[in-house]
Amino acid sequence: MGLRLAHKWAIASRLGPGGGGGTVEFPVVIVELFDEQSGITARGEAAPSSRYNEDVEGCLAFFAKVDAARLHFTDLESSRRYIDRIALGHPAAKGALDMAMLDGYGQMISQPVHKLFGLDFTNGAPLTSFSIGIDNPETIMEKVREASVYPCLKLKVGGPSDEANLSALRSVAPRVRLRLDANEAWGSKEEALTHLERLANDGFVEFIEQPMPASAPRSDWIWLKERSPIPLMADESYQTAADVSFCQECFHAVNVKLVKAGGITPAFEALQAARKSGLKTMLGCMIETSILISAAAHLAELTDFLDLDGNLLITNDPFSGVSCDRGFLAFPRNLPAFGLRVIPRPAT
Ligand SMILES: [Mg+2]
């Protein structure tokens, strides 16, 4: 299905010449696994990203290779091994199946997914930021006004008017908690440092995600980490736990996403590995429905920051799951697994 955005969405890596561009629709794939014996329908979602060489066609081709008879809600280990062997790569598609398996198992034993990982979730405690895409300063002011209920914002930077956009944001929300995300915008360490020093004049930026491309040499990252006035968070540089030693050297924190890690299980491992290495952690998202957002929220206890707002940016979410009250997340009581409900639509 195509997720409709409330606002045109632009980030540094998708800007056109002159900083224009952006999009109003993102395609995702929702998978359902039906167990005849128990009557349980389990769901997962793939929000494929071209940044990680995935698209809807690739996800559908992967799903076409899956023999559902080899998947068992009661045997997550062997189901996961089977899914992994189907093909290399495909983290978003594999993640959708990992999610659906956990949804099925959670429903079967009537437990929330966080309990399956030995974690707690305190309703109303975890706080997500709300993201503001790249735009012109006037529109930024409008978006920040609309987002006035959120105590924490994330501003996308790496466009032609970052400082003006930051000033515009501060003119509306002088004290809001603020994070920045450059999405690999700056090509050299010197260019990145110049931008970071200017943006640091704000005085209250918590961290910046991915100022340089993930392909930048390790020595450039170490150079930048030593000098940056703002803590550096790896996003595109941290896909799975395998990237942890690089990120420990080059960053202060990491952003884990279900879609790039390959589901809840590898995201759990990526968060644990990062914490063991002394890195701060965040759970982030793509433009997603409440399936992926709710699934990620179950791992909130393993994070220092949350950026789970993908479902808040769309206008046609088919599900409700984790709720967001002025940025604070809560699950509905007494619902197993992800805590999802299908939102009834009027017949057309
Ligand atoms: Mg990011």
CATH number at residue 252: 3.20.20.120
For ligand 1, the distance from its centroid to the CA atom of residue 210, given in whole angstroms, is: 7
Answer whether residue 108 is part of any domain: yes
Q: Please check whether residues 272 and 212 belong to one and the same domain.
A: yes
Both structure tokens of 38: 């128990």
Rounded Cα distance, 161 and 5, in Å: 23
Q: Which residues surround ligand 1, an ion (CB under 5 A)?
A: 181, 209, 235
| Locus of tokens 């399936």 | 291
What does the block give as tokens for 157? Answer: 């930077």
Q: How far is the CA of 228 from the centre of ligand 1 (A)?
A: 18
pLDDT truncated to tens, each residue of the chain (348 aa)?
888 887 776 777 666 544 456 778 889 999 999 999 999 999 999 999 999 999 999 999 999 999 999 999 999 999 999 999 999 999 999 999 999 999 999 999 999 999 999 999 999 999 999 999 999 999 999 999 999 999 999 999 999 999 999 999 999 999 999 999 999 999 999 999 999 999 999 999 999 999 999 999 999 999 999 999 999 999 999 999 999 999 999 999 999 999 999 999 999 999 999 999 999 999 999 999 999 999 999 999 999 999 999 999 999 999 999 999 999 999 999 899 999 999 987 765
What is the Cα–Cα distance from 113 to 100, expressed in whole angstroms?
11
Distance 76 CA to ligand 1 centre (A): 30
Q: If you measure from the C-alpha of residue 209 to the centroid of ligand 1, how many angstroms do you get, rounded to a whole number? A: 6
Tokens 């998947």 belong to 71
Same domain, 277 and 308: yes
Burial (CB count <10 Å: 0-12, 13-18, 19+), residue 78: exposed
CB of 232 closer than 8 Å to CB of 251: yes
Distance CA 196, CA 211 (A): 8
Å from CA of 286 to ligand 1 middle = 9
| Residue 45 contacts residue 30 (beta carbons within 8 Å) | yes
Tell me which of 112, 145, 180 is where a domain ends.
112
**What gap in Å lies between CA 170 and CA 177, rounded to an integer?**
11
Q: Does residue 73 lie within any of the structural domains?
A: yes
Q: Is residue 83 part of a domain?
A: yes
Is 98 in the same domain as 69? Answer: yes
Counting the structural domains of the chain, the total is: 2
Give the separation between CA 270 and CA 130, rounded to whole angstroms.
23
In contact, 239 and 52? CB cutoff 8 Å: yes
Angle at 215 between CA 211 and CA 221, to 5 degrees: 50
What is the Å distance from ligand 1's center to 149 Cα?
Answer: 22
Please count the residues of the chain. Answer: 348
Q: Is residue 118 part of a domain?
A: no
- 248 and 292 inside one domain: yes
Same domain for 214 and 176? Answer: yes
**Residue 114 C-alpha to ligand 1 middle, in angstroms?**
24
Residues 146, 13 share a domain: no
Find the domain containing 8 and state its range.
2-112
30 CA from centroid of ligand 1 (Å): 23
Same domain, 139 and 279: yes
71 and 186 housed in the same domain: no
What's the gap in Å between 234 CA and the centre of ligand 1? 8
Q: Does 108 lie in the same domain as 135?
A: no
Indicate if 237 and 134 belong to the same structural domain. yes
pLDDT the model gives residue 111: 97
Domain CATH code at residue 104: 3.30.390.10
* Domain presence at residue 231: yes
pLDDT score at 7: 74
**pTM (two decimals):** 0.94
- Tell me how far apart the alpha carbons of residues 5 and 131 are, in angstroms, rounded to a whole number: 12
Tell me, in angstroms, the distance from the centre of ligand 1 to residue 254's CA.
Answer: 10
Residue 27 CA to ligand 1 center (angstroms) comes to 19
Residues 177 and 76 in one domain: no
On whether residue 31 sits in a domain, the answer given is yes
Q: 311 with 225, same domain?
A: yes
> What is the pLDDT at residue 348?
58
Q: Of the candidates 65, 82, 112, which is a domain's last residue?
A: 112
Provide the pLDDT for residue 1.
80
User: Ligand 1: distance of its center to the CA of 36 in Å?
Assistant: 40
Any domain includes 96: yes
Alpha carbon 49 to chain centroid distance?
A: 11
pLDDT at position 346 is 72
Alpha-carbon Rg for the chain in angstroms? 20
